[in-house]
Homo-oligomer: A and B are copies of this chain.
Amino acid sequence: MAIEELSNSLPMMLYKALDTIMPKFRIIFKEFGITEPQARVLRILWQHETIALNELSSLSLITPPSLVGVIDRMELNGLVERNNSNIDRRKIIVNLTEKGEKLESKILPKVKKVYAEIESSMTKKDLNNTLFLLNKISLIYKK
């Protein structure tokens, strides 16, 4: 398999994998009127309660310029709130509203069901190997 062939290239295979699995998740998100980037933000906030926007950016892999709009729309939708930091006046602290909190128990079970579906389709070993290798790739240019 010639790796430099476009259709077999690492980028295309990564995109193809995402195109395969993400629609399954998006169907769930749409039920609740949110998008995939918004769901990523929610999942982080379900763990953190409160978090600075820049850290939210790192964890969600959403760049700041995109994240500003994502948070804007989530705020309009009553899912999150923006607050100023007392310690560092440059920082914006994001936290969930009650509406945002309540979504966890509705969305997470359905999301986990899709994960289970994926795991059952490819052996746990393959999945772990994939994650291990993807992690290696993500470290290629670090330091």
- Give the interface of A toward B (CB within 8 A): 1, 3-4, 6-22, 24-25, 40, 43-44, 47, 59, 61, 111-112, 115, 118-119, 121-122, 126-131, 133-141
Contacts and interface: CB of A to CB of B under 8 A. Distances in A.
Given A118-B140, A133-B133, A19 B61 contact: yes
Contacts of A6: 40, 43-44, 47, 59
A18 B137 CA distance: 9
Nearest to A62: B15
A11 B21 contact: yes
A138 B7 CA distance: 12
State the 6 A-B residue pairs at the shortest beta-carbon distance, nearest first: A13-B134, A16-B138, A17-B137, A130-B133, A6-B43, A121-B140
Consensus secondary structure, chain A interface: helix
A12 B131 CA distance: 10
Nearest to A18: B14
A61 to B, nearest CB: 5
Of A1, A15, A112, A135, chain B has the most CB atoms within 10 Å of the CB of: A15
Give the one of A128, A135, A140 with max B CB within 10 A. A140
